[in-house]
Every structure is written in C-alpha cells, then in structure tokens.
Amino acid sequence: MEYRRLGNSGLKVSALGLGTNNFGERLDEQGSVRVIHAALELGINFLDTANRYGDGRSEEWIGKALRNKRREALIATKFARAMGSGPNDAGGSRNHIMEQVEGSLRRLDTDYIDLYQMHVSDPETPIEETVRTLDDLIRQGKVRYIGCSVFAAWKVCEAVWTARTLNMNSFVSVQPQYNLLQREIEKELLPFCRRYNLGIIPYYPLAAGFLTGKYRQGEAIPKGTRFAASPRHQRLFNEKNFSILARLERFAGERGHSVGELAIAWLLANRVVSTVIAGASKPEQITANLRAVDWKLTAEDVKEIDQTLQDKSI
C-alpha cells in the first residue's frame, strides 16, 4: 500500500480510502464490519464517514469493527448537515459542533477523531466562530486534524486565512466531488489547494458508479444501483459521456486494466490528491480497487487521457 501525507499535516493516509456512506443503507452491520476488516488487512487505514450516514449506523458499526483495532485506522467523520428539524440542528455554530462531536465520539466508541470535516459550508455562522470551535476541539484532544467538504474555493480560502490570522489550527484537507467526468474543481479549488498544500480527498471517484462500465447506453438501469436509487445522478447519462466512457475503456483495456481502475489511477497521478475514497459492499471490490493504486500513470498517459476528455468531436 502507498501512503501519502494528508495535505500539510504529518499524518500519512493510505492512497486508497474506504467510503462508508452505504453502511446502514445498502449494507448491513455484518457486511459493514467484514468490509472494514478486509480493508485494514489490505493496508487501508483511512475510513471516511459522517454523523448522518445511515442515520448514525455507519459510525456505530465502524466503532464496533474497530474494537481492539483502533490504532490501525484513521477515522474521518463530518458534521454540519441537518441532524434534525430544529433551528440549531445543522451548521457550523459552536452549539451544533460541540453537540455533534460528542455524538460522533459516542457512536464511534472512541475518545478522538482523526479528521473532523465540515460537511457543507454555513452562510449564517461567522467562519471565525466555526474555526475557533474546531481549534478548541484540537486543543482538547477530541479531534486531531480538521478539514472541509463541498466548499467553494473562496470559502476554503476564507477559513484558512481566518485561522492563520488568529494563529489557530486550520484545515489540512478538502473533500470535493472530482473524477474524470466532473472536473470543475480544477478551475479554482485545486490550484488553491496546490498553492497552500491542502490535501484533496475526492468523493465519487467513479462518478457514482458510471465509470465502472456497468451502465450501457440504451439499456435499463440495473436495480439496486446508486443510479436507480438516486435519479439526480442520471444526468451523467448522455451521448457525450458514453462516448468518453468507450474511449476510456479502450485506453484501460489496451493496458490490461478496467476503466474503474483508470479512474482511480488518474486521480492518484495528481500529487495534490492525498487519498481516494471508494465505497465497497464486499471485500472483493476493495481488492479490485487496490489494483489501481499499483498502476502508475506516466505524464504521457495523463496527457493522452486529457486529450480524450477534451476532444471537441465527442
């Protein structure tokens, strides 16, 4: 397993992480524990979850899986999305953060969180209040590092410079949507993270499963898949993307790999990416994803892939 520094911190995370947003939804407790143990055995140390995944079951089952194994894993969880219907049940206020961190610690059955991430930005709470509270949690030992997710570049910049100005702990990572088909972060967020040495942790590296190659143009969406359960992802189903997919499959196949492996290897070819979180419903999927970590794309490979993605004839 390859390990990389998480942004400007000294923490080393596995190049392939395990996403657990399917725990408690499409995967039961026994299956979740089995997947976590398989990931640990294969050298994966980065587990990504959130307080609301599976209505809290994701955190609970991670806690159960890590009994007597806590030092083998780095737990990254999140706060800020709504956890109820009350006026203080979401956001980045001191009140909400202090309440949610205790809930996550209890469900995870641990006394510290390795990476505590703000799931979404909060336009109503001053960023200074949020950063001060997260800094307090680090000083208290309840949290070791902090990061954010789904933040616009200017909001990450605001948080980083607020922390610097006040001499407080700052974000070490950002978790945005990033994959071969969805590259919006390359305009502003990725250059900012490169300049300030924040680690990128892409979610949906396989474009919610589109880049696995399991979907075919003109064919019915398989039942039980993410696309079947969430129609919002179906916007990826268009002629241009299916044409790109065919070219990427050909590129990967000529080199003895799958398009899913290519999707992960392409992300890892960018050194700003600290770890790629990929979900799994069974251990075999983790093994398959690990093949991508060993595939080191050359500069020429990346250039050819970019030309394929930018081909105006598609």
| C-beta separation of 34 from 173 below 8 A | no
Q: Is residue 184 part of a domain?
A: yes
For residue 229, is it within any domain? no
Cα separation values, 285 from 14, 62, 142, 170, 192, Å = 16, 18, 33, 34, 33
Asked, for residue 121, whether it belongs to a domain, the answer is yes
Handedness of CA 195, 11, 137, 112 (dihedral sign): positive
**How far is CA 31 from each of CA 57, 108, 279, rounded to the nearest angstrom?**
13, 17, 13
Q: Look at residue 18 and tell me if it is in a domain.
A: yes
Q: Is residue 222 part of a domain?
A: no
Tens of pLDDT along the chain (314 residues) come to: 999 999 999 999 999 999 999 999 889 999 999 999 999 999 999 999 999 999 999 999 999 999 999 999 999 999 999 999 999 999 999 999 999 999 999 999 999 999 999 999 999 999 999 999 999 999 999 999 999 999 999 999 999 999 999 999 999 999 999 999 999 999 999 999 999 999 999 999 999 889 987 777 666 666 655 555 565 556 787 888 899 999 999 999 999 999 999 999 999 999 999 999 999 999 999 998 999 999 999 999 999 999 988 875 55
Residue 93 pairs in a beta bridge with none
pTM of the model: 0.93
Q: Please tell me the predicted confidence (pLDDT) of residue 230.
A: 61
Domain count, the chain: 1
On whether residue 220 sits in a domain, the answer given is no
Question: Annotated catalytic, 53?
Answer: yes
Q: Which is the catalytic residue, given 3, 53, 145, 178?
A: 53
Residue-number span of the structural domain to which 68 is assigned: 3-209+259-297
Residue 180 lies in a domain: yes
Predicted pLDDT of residue 52: 96
Cα radius of gyration (the chain): 19
